[in-house]
Every structure is written in structure tokens, then in C-alpha cells.
């Protein structure tokens, strides 16, 4: 399945059920430089031999920083990259975010495409045009909104994805279900990771369904002045967990969704939803409690971009499939956080 979506920032071709072997239909490999991370390059470098060059960055969120950007810039210069050279980000959300960022600023912009290789990349990070680089504790502090020319979804890459990265991606899938898609929530509750791992067609359909949700929202609000904020469900507290506890993005979002649910119950959501979400997260091997220092979490939360006076904007659920935004006082956030923190090892 293929379609194009035209955002204010550019038109993107979505190539679902794609195959990396046919990438030359979408670009000329001799004029294209791949940016990938060390894990993905180690596994797939035999696919990259026809390309002008491959720039490999060290894997891991701790390398999504400015020294990586400077190193890539230096290598682009050495390879004589110019404004018509295409960049291809091949990897998880870290590699595609870095690619989108550099492609939008190098010589004031060059064409780029994405081949997400992690589930999180396929259902979320590669879609929507946001990219970013971390500065110290501040996630994605520097970033642009720039749309790739195409996104090629090749589920064959998921064959090598470690188990913890599958659950990482499912956190974002569960997020879409909570926000917009009650039917998907029920479907996920009837299945598990093994079910999706065994069936490429089912996984492809799941990825396309998540991409549809994200596209719908980004089309309505590319620059996040309204509706797109809903996609931050689980991310306000999630970013604090990610920064303080150094856990994967999706695992942090899982905990963040629980905190948001606890707060949602104060605004009328039935408490049973928190229990249902807890069960679903456990089913997809995601954490539901963690050992952490509440003061440290609050310190990060008070620096959040969404801070407004003595509170911070949270996306809350009315019920599964319906959400809205509330400003929540910090002391209230602290209480909700505390209910998911335990004393033992996480």
C-alpha cells in the first residue's frame, strides 16, 4: 500500500509493505548518503554497498547530541555532500531524528528519506516531520519540523529487533489506542507481542493504522499549536522518567501514561481504565512501577517546555479513545507520580 500526504511543510510518500531492495525506485543510491547507527550498520551493511557513502553514528540515545551532529557535518563535507545530495536515515528514532535535523539545516536544507528499522520508528518517530537533538538533560531542545520525501516501511528489519525494543514500540501503539482507537485497545488486549512477531501482515496493518492516526493529527496541526499536543499523552511524566531513570523512551511513556491516567481519574475518567491500562502494559512487557527519586523527577518536570506557571500541561483521558488537555498543579503531579514509584529494583 502506498499513498502521499501533503503537509504544509511538504509532501511525503508512505511506502507500506516496502522492501529496501527496491529503494532505487525512490532515489539514486550513487547520490545518496546513508546515516545509520552502529547496531543497524553491523546487521545490514551488506544492503548499503551501492550508496555514495554510509555515515555510522554510535547507537544509543546518549549520542543524540551536538557532537554527533558536528561529526556528521564534517563527514558530509568530506564526501562533498551538497544541496541536491539525498540523505537516507536508516535506523530507529534516534537515527531518523538526527537525519531529519541535519538534512534540514545542512546548507539550509537537502532532500531526505527515512527507512525506520525499529517498531517505535515505524509507528511514531519517522512520522510527522519533527526531529531533534538533546542538549544535556533537555530532550529534543534543538529541532526543526521538516518532512522527508518518503518513508519506506520494511518489516523485514523487525526480524532482528531485540525483545525490549518490541515492547518499546508497543508503548506508542498503546498510546494511539488510548487516545483515539478503543477497538485497537480491545484488539491489543486479545493479542501479545509473540502474535505480532509471527505475522508480518498483521504487524504491517498495525503500523499502517498507527501511521494513519498520526498523519490525521499532524495534518490538522503540523506545528503543534492544538490537536497535535494530544500525541504527548504519557510523554510529560514520561520524559522525566526517561531522563532520570535512563530507561528506553517507550518504557518511560508507559509509566507516563499511568501517571496521566491517575490524574484523569480526578477529572471524571473511570478508575477501571487505569487497571485496564496496567494489565495491557504488563501484557506487552512494559513497566508499571519503577524505583526513582521523586524529587529528581519533579526537578525535570518543572523544566518541561509545557510548563505554565505552577503547573504543567498534561493530556488526560476521558475514557479509552477520548482525550483532552489540562493544566495540572505540580503538587498534584507529585502525588500521581509517587503512586508508581516503588522501593525495590526496577
* Residue 283: closest CA among 163, 124, 167, 202: 167
Cβ atoms 326, 316 nearer than 8 A: yes
Cβ atoms 178, 257 nearer than 8 A: yes
Cβ atoms 27, 234 nearer than 8 A: no
Identify whether 82 is a catalytic site residue.
Answer: no
Taking the C-alpha atoms of residue 147 and residue 291, their distance in angstroms, rounded to an integer, is 38
Q: Based on CB atoms, which residue is closest to ligand NAD, 147 or 274?
A: 147
Is residue 112 near ligand NAD by the rule CB under 6 A?
no
Q: Based on CB atoms, which residue is closest to ligand NAD, 124 or 304?
A: 124
The 10 Å CB-count burial string (b at 16+, else e) for 138-174 is: bbbeebbbbbbbbbbbbbebbeebeeebbbbbbbbbb
**CA distances to 44, 267, 300, 323 from 307, in Å:** 42, 20, 11, 19
Identify whether 139 is a catalytic site residue.
Answer: no
Binder of ligand NAD out of 39, 175, 229, 262 (CB under 6 A): 39
Cβ atoms 267, 332 nearer than 8 A: no
Identify whether 30 is a catalytic site residue.
Answer: no
Question: How many positions of this chain bind ligand NAD (CB under 6 A)?
Answer: 29
Identify whether 249 is a catalytic site residue.
Answer: yes
The three-point CA angle 19-10-173 to 5° equals: 55
Identify whether 175 is a catalytic site residue.
Answer: no
Identify whether 224 is a catalytic site residue.
Answer: yes
Q: Is 104 left (phi over 0), alpha (psi -120 to 50) or beta?
A: alpha
Is residue 128 near ligand NAD by the rule CB under 6 A?
yes
Q: Based on CB atoms, which residue is closest to ligand NAD, 160 or 339?
A: 160
Q: Based on CB atoms, which residue is closest to ligand NAD, 102 or 269?
A: 102
Catalytic residue among 165, 172, 222, 242: 172
Taking the C-alpha atoms of residue 253 and residue 142, their distance in angstroms, rounded to an integer, is 21
Q: Based on CB atoms, which residue is closest to ligand NAD, 124 or 181?
A: 124
Taking the C-alpha atoms of residue 107 and residue 87, their distance in angstroms, rounded to an integer, is 13
Identify whether 215 is a catalytic site residue.
Answer: no
Binder of ligand NAD out of 12, 27, 37, 287 (CB under 6 A): 37
Identify whether 228 is a catalytic site residue.
Answer: yes
Is residue 31 near ligand NAD by the rule CB under 6 A?
no
Residues between 201 and 260 that touch ligand NAD (CB under 6 A): 249
Catalytic residue among 39, 175, 235, 251: 235
Q: Based on CB atoms, which residue is closest to ligand NAD, 9 or 311?
A: 9
Catalytic residue among 239, 242, 251, 262: 239
Q: Based on CB atoms, which residue is closest to ligand NAD, 111 or 238?
A: 238
Is residue 175 near ligand NAD by the rule CB under 6 A?
no
Query: Listing from the earlier edge strand, what are the strands of the sheet with 322-329?
Result: 307-308, 311-319, 322-329
The whole-angstrom distance between residue 42's C-alpha and the CA centroid of its chain comes to: 22
Is residue 92 near ligand NAD by the rule CB under 6 A?
yes
Identify whether 130 is a catalytic site residue.
Answer: yes
| Interaction pattern, residues 144-173, with ligand NAD; x per rule: CB under 6 A | -------------x--xx---x--x-----
Taking the C-alpha atoms of residue 192 and residue 178, their distance in angstroms, rounded to an integer, is 17
| Positions marked catalytic | 108, 130, 172, 214, 224, 228, 232, 235, 239, 249
| Site for ligand NAD, rule CB under 6 A | 37, 39-40, 43, 59, 61, 64, 91-95, 97, 117-118, 120-121, 124-125, 128, 130-131, 140, 157, 160-161, 165, 168, 249
Amino acid at each position: 500500500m502506498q499513498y502521499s500526504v501533503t503537509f504544509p511543510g511538504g509532501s511525503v510518500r508512505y511506502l507500506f509493505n516496502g522492501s529496501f531492495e527496491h529503494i532505487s525506485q525512490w532515489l539514486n543510491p550513487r547520490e545518496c548518503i546513508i546515516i545509520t547507527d552502529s547496531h543497524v550498520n553491523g546487521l545490514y551493511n551488506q544492503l548499503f554497498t551501492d550508496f555514495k557513502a554510509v555515515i555510522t553514528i554510535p547507537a544509543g540515545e546518549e549520542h543524540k547530541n551536538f557532537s554527533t551532529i558536528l561529526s556528521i557535518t564534517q563527514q558530509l563535507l568530506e564526501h562533498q555532500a551538497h544541496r541536491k545530495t539525498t540523505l537516507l536515515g536508516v535506523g530507529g528514532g534516534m537515527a531518523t531524528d538526527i537525519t531529519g535535523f541535519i538534512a534540514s539545516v545542512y546548507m539550509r536544507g537537502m532532500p531526505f528519506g527515512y527507512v525506520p528499522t525499529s517498531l517505535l520508528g515505524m509507528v511514531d518517530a519517522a512520522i510527522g516531520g519533527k526531529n531533534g537533538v538533546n542538549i544535556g538533560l533537555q530532550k529534543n531542545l534543538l529541532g526543526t519540523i521538516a518532512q522527508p520525501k518518503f518513508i519506506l516501511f520494511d518489516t523485514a528489519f523487525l526480524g532482528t529487533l531485540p525483545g525490549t525494543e518490541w515492547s518499546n514500540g508497543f508503548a506508542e501503539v498503546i498510546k494511539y489506542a488510548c487516545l483515539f482507537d478503543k477497538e485497537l485497545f480491545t484488539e491489543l488486549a486479545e493479542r501479545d507481542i509473540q502474535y505480532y512477531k509471527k505475522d508480518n501482515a498483521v504487524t504491517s496493518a498495525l503500523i499502517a493504522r498507527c501511521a494513519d492516526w498520526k498523519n490525521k493529527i499532524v495534518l490538522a496541526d503540523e506545528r503543534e499549536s492544538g490537536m497535535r499536543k494530544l500525541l504527548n499523552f504519557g510523554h510529560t511524566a514520561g520524559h522525566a522518567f526517561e531522563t532520570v531513570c535512563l530507561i528506553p523512551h517507550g518504557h518511560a511513556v508507559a509509566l507516563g501514561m499511568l501517571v496521566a491516567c491517575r490524574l484523569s481519574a480526578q477529572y471524571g475518567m473511570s478508575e477501571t481504565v487505569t487497571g485496564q491500562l496496567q494489565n495491557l502494559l504488563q501484557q506487552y512487557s512494559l513497566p508499571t512501577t519503577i524505583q526513582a527519586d521523586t524529587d529528581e523527577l519533579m526537578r525535570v518536570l518543572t523544566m518541561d517546555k509545557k510548563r505554565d506557571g505552577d503547573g504543567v500541561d498534561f493530556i488526560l483521558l476521558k475514557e479509552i479513545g477520548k482525550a483532552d488537555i489540562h493544566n495540572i498543579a505540580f503538587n498534584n503531579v507529585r502525588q500521581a507520580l509517587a503512586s508508581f514509584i516503588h522501593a525495590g529494583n526496577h
